[in-house]
Amino acid sequence: MTSRSITILRVAGIPIRIDASWIVIALVVTWSLAVEFARSYPLRLNPGFTAATYWFMAAIGAVLLFVCLILHELGHSLVGQRFGMRIRSITLFIFGGVAELESEPKSAKGEFWMAVAGPAVSLALAVGFWAVWVVGGVADWPVSVLGVLRELAAINAILVGFNLVPAFPLDGGRVLRAILWATTKNLKQATSITSQMGAGFGTAMMLLGVVGVLGGQVVFGMWWLMLGWFLRGASQRGFEQVVVRRALEGEPVRRFMTTDVSSVQPDLDVENLVENYVYQEHHKMYPVRENGHVLGYVTPREIKQVPRGEWPRHRVAEIMASDLDRVEITPETDALAALARMQRSDQSRLLVVDHGSLVGIVTLHDLLEFLNLKLELEGV
């Protein structure tokens, strides 16, 4: 998702992003609101209105609706931060908004309050828009303004109801998971139950979509089909993430790192690096060492910065990356923490350093092989 998104602002250190797919839903929502306003406020009863009025109301309503979605996700994120969770970003995409977590809740209490926070924000927005609509009606505000306020109050109320359905990963499913987690002391079991409920709810939405399409409501039907499909997939992925976390948590990387590390000298020219190392050994990261000390590292990303014809004239020292803090871990680093570091640094390899000495390298492939073997042997 993030590879196609742009950051529009930051709130409390959290990047707010818009995914490319968001353009689709923005257009659909604007069109839907314009149709709804035209139905609710017909021209024959509102002589001052034109077709442009409906589209203007819809555009304003769509912008405010997406602000509401951001506030909903900020509610989750800010409460999550209070409970020690790291929030990578908030992204608006085709199915609404999502707060992307770097770490899952560490307790049922944190899960519960984080899950409740989003619907609480939406409920407050619904009540707030309704109250302003009432005040505006008494004050005889323009019908166009009152129409937008009423629609936003209704949509936020619907969002509260939808999100509180007890189907993971919806907020209601997370609330139920927190309750089951606190009761059973078993996160995997709680996630399994709520994920199955999420898959069932997603299937029901897909069936509703099929009925809509067959009944001639093509846009309505296709939307519910896609939303149900997304929810089914998200519920399954949520359970898989818990299984992966439980399998990797507490496992030090020394158990599966590669200790035979191929490194290069800083005075090696780029052509020799490619021909005699990359093409021969097929590694995607080479530590750069001199007199036993790690100076940096080089990957295909750095090599590609140099035009092919200039490889013989440039040395590794000129192109190597030196931000070792991004890619260094210790042998005792938790495998789950290593995976999170790979995601943050956008690297599939990390250097394992013990008291300043390079002792190994761990790759995403190593992590996945260890995970696969552990799950197979433990019958998961």
Taken in order of first residue, the domains within the chain and their CATH numbers are: 2-248 (no CATH), 253-377 (3.10.580.10)
pLDDT of residue 2 exceeding 50 = no
Half-sphere exposure of 171 (CA within 13 A, CB side): 24
Q: Kindly indicate the confidence band of residue 380, based on its pLDDT and cuts at 50, 70 and 90.
A: low
pLDDT of residue 271: 94
pLDDT > 80? residue 99: no
pLDDT of residue 157 exceeding 90, the answer is yes
Angstrom distance (rounded) from CA 103 to CA 106: 8
Is 375 exposed, middle or buried (CB count within 10 Å of its CB: 0-12, 13-18, 19+)? Answer: middle
pLDDT band at 103 (very low <50, low <70, confident <90, very high): low
- Assessment of whether the complete model's pTM goes beyond 0.85: no
At 25 the pLDDT is 82
pLDDT, tens only, 175-221: 999 999 999 998 888 988 999 999 999 999 899 989 888 888 776 78
Q: What is the mean pLDDT of the chain?
A: 87
Q: What is the pLDDT of residue 95?
A: 63
CA distance to 35, 231, 360, 363, 367, per residue, from 284 (Å): 54, 36, 14, 10, 16
Residue bearing tokens 């990797």: 248
SS3 label, residue 296: strand
